[in-house]
Structure 1
């Protein structure tokens, strides 16, 4: 079956799983599937609230990691061109000292999603504090912070596909 979406968010998944997704998409049942699994929006809609939300997760799982300088929603993150979130590490010399800043930026799209999707993205970006690459240790850390990480990542990709095909779901 040929895929007609602008971006194939499911490209890395097994053919059988992609076929199941195609069946949901072509039958028009994908929005209903997502609505049954997830409900409404979360209340973390400001960058200040996102900062506190992220620090709460960080203090639960990554206490020994470097502090975060900034966490905010970013309107400039284009889901298709860049990513869903960004993490940056900035080192600057100030006098005799080397100052390191760590920042997390989350696409503004996540202001209007179910909380599990926001949590998955925040967990993903927090995991990059310890593990820079998407390797086995990175995904193990993601699963430690969010046991349903892989299912949430798949459902988020289905959600993005749904937005492309059917418009906003929630």
Structure 2
């Protein structure tokens, strides 16, 4: 049985459906039909503006974001949805905290729904640090259909690995 590392937390029935699409060589078609477009947010500056616009729309009173960037060094298996950090430094007699969001650079080529889902996920961490019900309610508020898009993003990563592995052979 083909291991699906990005989908391991999902029910076996869903994993079996993905395996069937892979066996029938239809996984790429499934994704292309559902997500035919690619986003235009290609630079770190554009990603920062995109993120701050979403933050302004949904989380006006959340802490400011100091930096948003694509990061080629993110380990996609461990941080498939990006990374948020809060860096605290003492400057003079004051404690300064800087918030950063990093998105794996492979998502430069992703559909706009996937980029939005990743940014929404990381923005939700400004209000909710844990992946609890309140966190996912906030994600769903900022992006209706969040859970389906997250699942499809993981299917996208699976397809990407399959294409990469077949080109290596």
TM-score by length of 1: 0.93
SS at match of 1:147: coil
Match of 1:114 in 2: 111
> Structure 1 residues 81, 143: CA separation in 2 closer, same or farther (over 3 Å shift)?
closer
Residue number among 123, 126, 139 corresponding to 2:123 in the alignment: 126
Post-superposition shift, 1:98? Answer: 1.4
- Residue 54 of structure 2: SS of its match in structure 1? helix
> TM-score, structure 2 length as denominator?
0.93
Alignment correspondent of 1:42: 39
Structure 2: runs of 5 or more not aligned: none
RMSD, matched Cα: 1.4
Partners of 1:142 and 1:158 lie apart in 2 by 19
- 5+ long unaligned stretches in structure 1: none
How far apart, in 2, do the equivalents of 1:33 and 1:159 lie?
10
| Residue 27 of structure 1, CA deviation | 0.7
Say yes or no: does 1:151 pair with 2:148.
yes
Distance (whole Å) between structure 1 residues aligned to residue 60 and residue 117 of structure 2? 19
Alignment-derived partner of residue 6 in structure 2: 9
Which 4+ residue blocks in structure 1 deviate beyond 3 angstroms?
81-84
**Is 1:53 paired with 2:58?**
no
Aligned to 2:27: 30
Q: How many residues align?
A: 165
Give the secondary-structure state (helix, strand or coil) at the position aligned to 2:55: helix
Q: Which residue number in structure 2 is paired with residue 136 of structure 1?
A: 133
Q: Distance in 2 between matches of 1:32 and 1:83?
A: 22
Q: Deviations over 1:29-77 (max 9, x none)?
A: 0000000001131110000000000000000000000000000001111
Query: For the Cα contact (< 8 Å) 2:120–2:143, is it kept in 1?
Result: yes
Measured in 2, the distance between the counterparts of 1:50 and 1:140 equals: 24
